[in-house]
Amino acid sequence: MTTLWQALENHHEQVRDRALLPLLEDPLRGSEFSARHGGLLFDFSKTNIDATGLSLLLQLIDGAGVEARREAMFTGATINETEGRAVLHTALRNPDDAVMVAGQDVMPGVRDTLARMRGFADDIRSGRIRGQGGAYTDVVNIGIGGSDLGPAMAAIALSPYADGPRTHFVSNVDGAHIADTLRGLDPATTLVIVASKTFTTIETMTNAETARDWMAASVADPAAQFAALSTAAERTAEFGIDPSRVFGFEDWVGGRYSVWGPIGLSLMIAIGPADFDDFLAGGADMDRHFRQAAPAHNLPMLLALVGIWHNQICGHATRAVLPYDQRLSRLPAYLQQLEMESNGKRVAMDGSDLTLHSGPVVWGEPGTNGQHAFYQLIHQGTRIVPCEFILVRKGHEPHLRHQHRLLVSNCLAQSEALMKGRPLAEAMEIMAAKGLTGAEQDRQARHRVFPGNRPSTTLAIPKLTPFTLGQILALYEHRVFVEGVILGINSFDQWGVELGKELALALQPILEGRASAEGKDSSTTMLLDYLRAVD
Ligand code: F6P
């Protein structure tokens, strides 16, 4: 692998300063540097990857043993080695396969829970299960991180399919979040779903108690309007939630990979079990593609290799995810957790220091909004930000087709502008046409130069449906997995979130005045003094 990384770095040295436009003048470049599967098109031709670069990158797949690791994941091996767990979120969307973990087929349990979820969702949607004030009108999912981002993102993405009760999502421990969400809801017709894998997360448990108090002020039996999604059956019982309304899953489903199972219940209630099945089918379709397609045509592998090229080889620390679809507005946040919690690690699986950079900083906003906000830096800033555009061929609003065309043309224009740029000579001409001459023409023209050669990829989707959403989420999951294997890290733990949790717990009694701040550093002491002055 060291020789391979060295070869990639040498290749990068040779090509780093060349212009992208001449590459793109080859009429075959688009088709040669893109891949398709199941209606999706991934175009990575507007990058500086050429045939040599791609062939070296593809060798990383073999060199890192990606295929063997992939099979180990799908077949239930303990690949999350720091927590001693299998990694089987793929089992949640493949209910027909048998998957053995520690000598036991886990699928009967998966199928049973899925069937119970379907029954519950149908009953809530049809009004067979009612709140104490009538049929449920609203569902509030209380969860955070992976117990929030998946269903919250998907509920917006699939809103054209939503025909059940309204869904709301509360995550932040800031009381403002739950206060603003519950205001205007009727406790007697609201179902509260407490979503927490561990059922110990302080934000979620605090919000759940607040919701229970809110409910208790209006209905006779508050617990009867709760459901829970968790691996911790004892804790859900302690909270008072009836076992018939508890949907469990196993520790082999990581939080950020959990939208496919019980954590997706609010989504299932919103769109209905049939559409949720399509969502699962989309994920399963991508799983099959990931397992069967040769690396050169394998979408998750290609996305991963392009990511590795930009981050570890070219040294671009961030990746912008720019969906040209308003309903994918929460996808960047979802992918931010997926990538950064999975691959933001400083040591390899064996505990040795990573010799390469960990995964990228992922951020983004939907286009065209971002164009009027941060694209300035992407086009003319001194740092390169590889951009991942996502565009959808067909919108859900046939009467607004002209708006969709405008949206899509903006997306294409951005990747073209990033790639081509605008040279000084052209900017000078534009200034001359405005009547400027001499030093002022030159000065003004320099501000209007676009350096170009800024890489981007485009993922094109036929239409945003439950199936295609399933496909793209699984695509990104597997991309993160491949990147993690190539970097030699464990993508499935998240020890980096623990220290802050511990310190927050210790600070609470200090803020309440029950413990002293002695021993705290001077910055924290000053901030504590400031905050305590309120009371
Ligand atoms: O703190 C990080 C984390 O553990 C995430 O990985 C997880 O998605 C989130 O917290 C919520 O955890 P839980 O579902 O156990 O409440």
Average pLDDT, the chain: 97
Q: Whose CA is nearest to atom 6 of ligand 1?
A: 255
pLDDT at residue 535 greater than cutoff 60: no
Identify which of 183, 180, 184, 181 has the alpha carbon closest to the alpha carbon of residue 168.
181
Q: Whose CA is nearest to atom 10 of ligand 1?
A: 145
pLDDT digits (tens, 9 = 90+) for 300-357: 999 999 999 999 999 999 999 999 999 999 999 999 999 999 999 999 999 999 999 9
Average pLDDT, stretch 44-72?
98
Active-site amino acid positions: 341, 372, 501
- In this prediction the ipTM stands at 0.98
Average pLDDT, stretch 229-253?
94
**Other beta carbons within 10 Å of 188:** 17
Q: What is the pTM assigned to this prediction?
A: 0.97
User: How far is 122 from 277, CA to CA, in rounded Å?
Assistant: 13
Amino acid, single-letter form, for residue 364:
G
Average pLDDT, stretch 8-20?
97
Average pLDDT, stretch 220-244?
94
Model pLDDT, residue 257: 98
More confident residue, 525 or 95: 525
pLDDT digits (tens, 9 = 90+) for 184-218: 999 999 999 999 999 999 999 999 999 999 999 99
Specify the ligand 1 atom closest to the Cα of 230.
14
C-beta 494 within 6 A of ligand 1 = yes
Average pLDDT, stretch 223-251?
94
C-beta 145 within 6 A of ligand 1 = yes
Model pLDDT, residue 96: 78
Model pLDDT, residue 102: 85
Instruction: Using the structure block, give the residue that is written with the tokens 């590459």.
Output: 23
Distance of CA 190 from the midpoint of ligand 1 (Å): 24
Distance of CA 124 from the midpoint of ligand 1 (Å): 27
pLDDT digits (tens, 9 = 90+) for 255-280: 999 999 999 999 999 999 999 999 99
Distance of CA 525 from the midpoint of ligand 1 (Å): 29
Model pLDDT, residue 95: 74
C-beta 207 within 6 A of ligand 1 = no
C-beta 504 within 6 A of ligand 1 = no
C-beta 218 within 6 A of ligand 1 = no
Identify which of 405, 411, 158 has the alpha carbon closest to the alpha carbon of residue 264.
158
Instruction: Using the structure block, give the residue that is written with the tokens 């208790």.
Output: 216
Which of 147, 207, 230, 256 for mutating ligand 1's site (highest number of atoms within 8 Å of CB)? 147
User: How far is 3 from 7, CA to CA, in rounded Å?
Assistant: 6
C-beta 212 within 6 A of ligand 1 = no
Q: Whose CA is nearest to atom 2 of ligand 1?
A: 497
Model pLDDT, residue 97: 80
Distance of CA 518 from the midpoint of ligand 1 (Å): 31
Identify which of 471, 459, 484 has the alpha carbon closest to the alpha carbon of residue 340.
484
Distance of CA 329 from the midpoint of ligand 1 (Å): 22
pLDDT at residue 499 greater than cutoff 90: yes
Percent of the chain with pLDDT over 70: 100
356-391: burial string, b at 16+ Cβ within 10 Å, e else: eebbbebbbbbbbebbeebbeebbeeeebbbbbbbb
pLDDT digits (tens, 9 = 90+) for 101-145: 888 999 999 999 999 999 999 999 999 999 999 999 999 999 999
Identify which of 182, 174, 117 has the alpha carbon closest to the alpha carbon of residue 151.
117
pLDDT at residue 10 greater than cutoff 60: yes
Residue 493: burial class (beta carbons within 10 Å; 0-12, 13-18, 19+): middle
Q: Whose CA is nearest to atom 8 of ligand 1?
A: 146
pLDDT digits (tens, 9 = 90+) for 413-447: 999 999 999 999 999 999 999 999 999 999 999 99
Asked if 345 contacts 490 with a C-beta cutoff of 8 angstroms, the reply is: yes
